[in-house]
Amino acid sequence: MIKTFHTACPRNCYSTCSFIVKMNGQSITSIEPQPLNKSTSEGPCLKGLSYKERAQSKDRILHPLKKVKGKFERISWEEALNEIAERLINYKAEYGSHSVLFYAASGMSGLLNGVSSDFWRLYGGTTTVYGNLCWPAGLEASRLTLGENKHNVPWDTENAKLILLWGKNPAESNIHQMLPIEKAQRKGAKLVVIDPRRTPSSERADLLLQPIPGTDGILALAIAKIIIEKGLHDLEFIEKYVFGFSEFEKSLESLDLVQASKECGIPVHFIKKLASLIGSIKPMTLVPGYGMQRYSNGGQTTRCLLALSIITGNIGKSGACWHYANLQSYVFDKVKEPVNYFPSQFDKPFRRAIPTALLGEKMMEQKNPELKMVWIERGNPVTQNPDSNKTIEAFRKLDFVVVVEQFLTDTAQEASIILPAKNMFEQTDIIGSYWNPYVQMKQKVMEPAGEVKPETEIYYLLARKLGFSEEVIQNHFPENNDEAIEKYLNKELKVFEELSIEKLKQGPILAPGLEEIAFENMNFNTPSGKIELFSQQAFDKWEVPQLPTYERLEEGQKNENPQFPLSLMSPNTKNRIHSQFGNLESIRALDSEPLLIMSPKDARAREIKQGERIKVWNERGEVLIKTSFDHSLRPGNVVMVNGYWNSEGGSPNLLSKGRETDMGHGTAFHDNMVEVEKI
Ligand SMILES: Nc1nc2c(c(=O)[nH]1)N[C@H]1C(S)=C(S)[C@@H](COP(=O)(O)OP(=O)(O)OC[C@H]3O[C@@H](n4cnc5c(=O)[nH]c(N)nc54)[C@H](O)[C@@H]3O)O[C@H]1N2
Ligand SMILES: Nc1nc2c(c(=O)[nH]1)N[C@H]1C(S)=C(S)[C@@H](COP(=O)(O)OP(=O)(O)OC[C@H]3O[C@@H](n4cnc5c(=O)[nH]c(N)nc54)[C@H](O)[C@@H]3O)O[C@H]1N2
Ligand code: SF4
Ligand SMILES: [Mo]
């Protein structure tokens, strides 16, 4: 008999698609679109469709493994958990619990991830990480300015008359966004893409501007200056809702258009053209991407862009929107990843915290106690955090590494013990989205494969082995049966009348209290109660200027090192979510190895041919891969997409530096200079 389940994709992906899974016993018969989700009604992407293959992959880890003389051997759960428990007890007794690092990242979202943090807190606290690899500079820039992170519902984009995709490439990273964009275009809207690369998203654009990486701040300020000089700004809106406009206007006096044009590489007449579009076409939806803020100046750059939406009054109306992140469906704190952007607010006894952007370096620096052990779940830091060589070095200095994983990733290769991880079909959980406005249930549709145990069960068993009291166990660790999990989730849902396990089983539910048009009431949760172009907090918290300013990149422009003249970007790509999916045959058939994309001009200067194997290197590492020429790429820029494993040929993070963004403790992956050499 075929059974139908409503579920949702738990990947760290804007779309957070709903879909319907049909099961015949333990076998998936189909993965189909879920029309109830208005943002993703067309159904999942190729990665979503490959979940069946992923669940059944022959490479999946199905039982605990222990490294013995450099090789992984199968061991029993009893043996694995006994060794882990014994070590946890000993490290704590001998060095203190902070000699253990708990590292979790964004591999799987869900409310149950809270159980992991609870376990480590109850263990007595650990060292953990703060900051985030992804989006915090832009989040913090938006929060400083608007008071919170929310945007109009995705389908409202079709009401825009001007759409700017600024450093975002939704045709690969958020395919469902291309539909409202196309609808808007059919109704006459103009689409402008601003990206150093010519991306699939730009194929539909009316205008593509290709700035020098990391210089968008000055481009935006130049546009603001022209708009204000021509009187195209919305004075009424500014007077009512904006704090610090006159200071902002004044700060633009010293900006020279010709110099700005030289700095960002966009000819003056194109800057003027874009200023005239932004100044005259309303409503405008500005969609800044996350890639663009992964620079040492990312937060200030984001504030410069946001200034354009503000001075033209494009906030709080249908079609008019600053479309960065929509946290309206993050109704439970724990749905957010276990990160906290502000170390001062840390739960002190629980955490000794190190920045995730400098993971390897800071792991090795810890003293009193030194780190002895790391526990990794839902993350692949060797591939995804900057400076892979440092991360590997730090791991190899430890006594003991536990990795909870589905596959033998670069990080799992460093493990002493690997515990097999669940997949999205093997446990029920509840997820939000940072783009669509739904709270959703990811339903369990099958029993875990092999000897796989979800993290909740692993912690339940470990809590017993560590001698946690019965009361603590009852309160924090659901037993691994479906009823106990649902009871745990229901407890979290109780606050919201609209939400219940039973209702969520029927499909996605709009977030309680959702504002379809964000900021429509013009309430801004900032110190002045207005939109803050001038932010004292920006200075007090992050020591950046109170106004949006353009800052030159730390590596790319300030420390120009003639030895490394090429700027390396490592954006996301269609068929992978970071380091996930690339190991599946269906994805490999399309995307088999990492490539260095470069301009033929840079290649010619180095006597390099299309498709030739070359060395990309800098003082942090090297990668040996093939080239692929891109005539549309600006000479001086090279690209290696994010997500390839070192075992597949190389992650761009072998080359990136551990460096924080100017605000939010983000990670400046793209501020990264390299040289390319014939081998
Ligand atoms: N298919 C797929 N989808 C994904 C992901 C994935 O890995 N694969 N990851 C998800 C996650 S976690 C994230 S954070 C998002 C990220 O997705 P996006 O927000 O789209 O971010 P990126 O792909 O990192 O970069 C977007 C674009 O910014 C451009 N860019 C780089 N530097 C600059 C610059 O200085 N100025 C300008 N104007 N543009 C610049 C890049 O060329 C790229 O085309 O996607 C999510 N969706
Ligand atoms: N150079 C460069 N580096 C980047 C980026 C970039 O643009 N350029 N982007 C950055 C960004 S935006 C992000 S968000 C990060 C993402 O980096 P990470 O957060 O590390 O994410 P993933 O690579 O998606 O997934 C990590 C692992 O989680 C595992 N996993 C999946 N489900 C589960 C589960 O239920 N339990 C357990 N235990 N494991 C599970 C997967 O198999 C995978 O190996 O990468 C960052 N790194
Ligand atoms: S990876 Fe993104 S686009 Fe693909 S199914 Fe999951 S949420 Fe949807
Ligand atoms: Mo991300």
Nearest CA to ligand 3 atom 4: 45
- Cα(386) to ligand 3 centroid in Å equals 25
Residue 72: pLDDT above 50?
Answer: yes
Q: Which ligand 2 atom is the nearest neighbour of the CA of 377?
A: 38
How far apart CA 173 and CA 548 sit, in angstroms, is 27
Structure confidence at residue 347 (pLDDT): 55
CA of 381 to the centre of ligand 2 (A): 8
537-575 residue pLDDT tens: 999 999 999 999 999 999 988 766 789 999 999 999 999
Q: Residues lining ligand 2, CB < 6 A? A: 12, 105-108, 133-134, 290, 377-380, 384, 404-407, 409, 421-422, 570-572, 577-580, 642, 652-653, 656, 669
Task: Give the pairing of strands 613-618 and 673-678.
Answer: antiparallel
Ligand 1 binding site (Cβ under 6 Å of any ligand atom): 12-14, 134-135, 166-169, 172-174, 194-197, 199, 211, 213-214, 216, 289-292, 569, 571-574, 576-578, 643, 670
Two structure tokens written together for 218: 């000055």
Q: Does 338 score more than 60 pLDDT?
A: no
The band of 333, judged by pLDDT with boundaries at 50, 70 and 90, is low
The pLDDT score that the predictor gives to residue 559 is: 67
Q: Are the C-beta atoms of 368 and 567 separated by less than 8 Å?
A: no
Q: What would the two tokens of residue 243 be?
A: 């704090």
CB 421 within 8 A of CB 404: yes
Mean pLDDT of 429-449: 96
**Residue 248's pLDDT is what?**
98
- If you average pLDDT over every residue of the chain, what do you get? 95
For residue range 175-198, list pLDDT tens digits in order: 999 999 999 999 999 999 999 999
- Per residue in 577-612, pLDDT (tens digit) is 999 999 999 999 998 899 999 999 999 999 999 999
- Residue reference for tokens 């090192």: 561
pLDDT of 546-555, one tens digit each? 999 999 999 9
pLDDT score at 558: 74
**pLDDT reported for residue 344:** 44
pLDDT > 70: what percent of the chain?
97
pLDDT at site 331: 81
Binned at pLDDT 50, 70 and 90, residue 348 comes out as: low
Q: Which residues have a Cβ under 8 Å from the Cβ of 232 and sit 6 or more positions away?
A: 275, 276, 278, 279, 280, 312
- Residue 239's identity, in one-letter code, is E
**What is the pLDDT at residue 335?**
43
| Cα(21) to centroid(ligand 3), Å | 14
> What's the confidence (pLDDT) of residue 339?
42
> Taking 80 as the threshold, does the pLDDT of residue 256 lie above it?
yes
Cβ atoms of residues 132 and 667 within 8 Å: yes
Whether 566 lines ligand 3, by a CB cut-off of 6 Å, is no
The residues with which 147 forms a beta bridge, in sequence order, are none
Domains of the chain with bracketed CATH: 2-56 (2.20.25), 65-126+334-426+449-510 (3.40.50.740), 146-327+517-542 (3.40.228.10), 557-678 (2.40.40.20)
333-352 mean pLDDT: 52
Provide, rounded to the nearest whole percent, the portion of the chain with pLDDT above 90: 92
Q: What is the pLDDT of residue 343?
A: 43
For residue 17 and ligand 3, the question of a CB distance below 6 A is answered with yes
**Is residue 284's pLDDT more than 70?**
yes
Say yes or no: CB of residue 655 within 6 Å of ligand 3. Answer: no
Residue found by looking up tokens 């993965």 in the block = 31
Question: Who has greater pLDDT, 482 or 69?
Answer: 69
- Report every protein residue that has its C-beta within 5 angstroms of ion ligand 4: 134
- Atom 25 of ligand 1: nearest residue by CA position: 291
**pTM, entire model:** 0.97
Task: Count CA atoms closer than 13 A to 71's CA, side-chain side.
Answer: 2
Q: Which ligand is nearest to the CA of 406?
A: 2
Q: What is the pLDDT of residue 385?
A: 98
Residue 337 predicted with pLDDT over 70: no
- Cα-to-chain-centroid distance, residue 23: 31
Q: What pLDDT sits at residue 342?
A: 41
Contact present, 80 and 417 (Cβ < 8 Å): yes
pLDDT band at 492, cuts 50/70/90? confident
Q: How far is the CA of 270 from the centre of ligand 4 (A)?
A: 31
The two structure tokens encoding residue 588: 């490999």
Q: Quick one: how far is CA 646 from the chain centroid? A: 20
pLDDT tens-digit map of 625-643: 999 999 999 999 999 999 9
